[in-house]
Each structure stands twice: as structure tokens, then as C-alpha cells.
Structure 1
């Protein structure tokens, strides 16, 4: 009988590994876009050389891609709210958690919400 109540507040944190990778990658991308002059390219080996190449030859694409990725995360977050409602996750706080986690970590969060199968009771 408690299954419907559990569905209303279902939340699953993203894996620590995925969260760490996303924070490091997005942090580096932010650093590259906003403070490229402060990056120690020579100390980063192939990553430094590749980053310099991208900035030199695809500067506009790097900036556009940065903002596009944030817009994609906004879209994923809004989709997470729609999914919450369709799966019976009606608790406002839980929906906010899904929204924020998906905004910050994208598919690493949305995956768990998509995979969630509510245990809805049959109505008689």
C-alpha cells in the first residue's frame, strides 16, 4: 500500500563517478572559455595542445558550444519535471531535486528518472 507514496518522492542521486567527471569536464570547459590566458597548456600534455588548437581555430564554436550545452541542460531539466509528473512524482521538493540535479549533471541524472518504473496501485 505504501508504494504510491514512495513513487511521489522517488529520487535517485547520480553516481559519484559521473558527477565527478562532469564537474571536471565542465569546469575545464568553463576555464577554457572564460580564462584561456591562465591555462598552463604546456603542463597539460596532449590536452593542452588540443585545447590550444580548438581555441585558435574554433574559438567561436567553443563559445557557442558552451552556451548550447547549458541550454541543453535547461531543456533536460524541464523534461525532468514533465517526467516526474508523468511517473507520479508529485512531491514539489522531489521535483525540485530532479530539476536541479538534471540541470547540473544532464543525462547522468535524467537516466535514473527515465529508468524509474513507478509501482502504481491498480484502481478498483
Structure 2
């Protein structure tokens, strides 16, 4: 059996919902780690006091967790490259898109690649 046309260039973005949630969450996390003094804690409802508590009492844990999250995303991106090869996605541009998308959005992107089943066609 051979590969169906298009397998080598397959790429699919994650849903807008998850891309938005992850972007806002990591953006807020970045803000809390690097510029906590500029956060308007009183204007954020229950999230404000919780964030202020973490910043005031566990800032080193927040900072270490931040870098750990990016390290995990890097690992997921490298695993995405392994999956690309095993699923016949050989186009360099498609592989780069999977790497970057998985680095930025983590498991929301990687789960799409994991679920992808390349189409097969019979060789003649």
C-alpha cells in the first residue's frame, strides 16, 4: 500500500476556541511572572486575589512552572516531528507548521496530529 495524495503535506490548525483559551492563559501567566506589579488585581474578580496570593507567596514556583510549561511544549513539538515522520508527513513546510503550532498550543495541537490517520491507497 502506498500513501494517498496529500499525506505528506497534511496540516490542520486547532480550533479557534482552544487557540484563544491557550493564548489568553499563557499571556496572563506571562504577565503574572514578569510584570506582576502592573496587574489590576481588584478588577479581575476571583482570579485577582488568587493571582496576587500566588505572586506574593509563591513567585518562584510560578516562575519555575512557567519555564516548565514551555519546556513541556518544546517536548511536545519534538514529539510532533516524530509523529510527522511516522505518519508520512514529509513536507518540510508542513513539519515546520506542526512544530510551531504544537510549541504554541501544546496538546491542543498535538492531539490533532495523534488522531490523524493517513489515507492509504493501493499501489499499482
Which category describes the TM-score, using the shorter chain as reference length?
over 0.9
1:5, distance to aligned residue in structure 2 (A): 2.4
Aligned length: 124
Q: Measure the CA separation in 2 of the matches of 1:99 and 1:20.
A: 18
Structure 1's consecutive aligned runs of 4 or more residues displaced over 2 angstroms after TM superposition are 2-5, 120-124
TM-score normalised by the chain length of structure 2: 0.94
Residue 123 of structure 1: how far off its partner (Å): 4.8
Aligned residue number for residue 60 of structure 1:
60
Deviates more, 1:60-69 or 1:112-121: 112-121
Distance in 2 between residues matched to 1:40 and 1:112, nearest whole Å? 36
Unaligned runs of 5+ in 1: none
2:85 is equivalent to residue 85 of structure 1: yes
Deviations 1:69-89 (A, max 9, x none): 000000000000000000000
Alpha-carbon distance in structure 2 between the residues aligned to 1:93 and 1:85: 13
Name the SS for the 1:5 alignment partner. coil
**In 2, Cα distance between the equivalents of 1:76 and 1:112?**
12
Map 1:1-124 to 2 at 5 A: 4-123=4-123
RMSD: 1.7
* Contact 2:3–2:88, Cα closer than 8 Å, also in 1: no
TM-score, normalisation: structure 1: 0.94
1:29-66 CA-to-partner distances (Å, cap 9, x unmatched) read 00000000000001112100000111122111100000
- Cα shift at 1:122: 4.3
Cα distance in 1 for residues equivalent to 2:89 and 2:73: 20
Structure 2 unmatched runs, 5+ = none
- The CA distance in 2 between the partners of 1:3 and 1:10, in whole Å, is 12
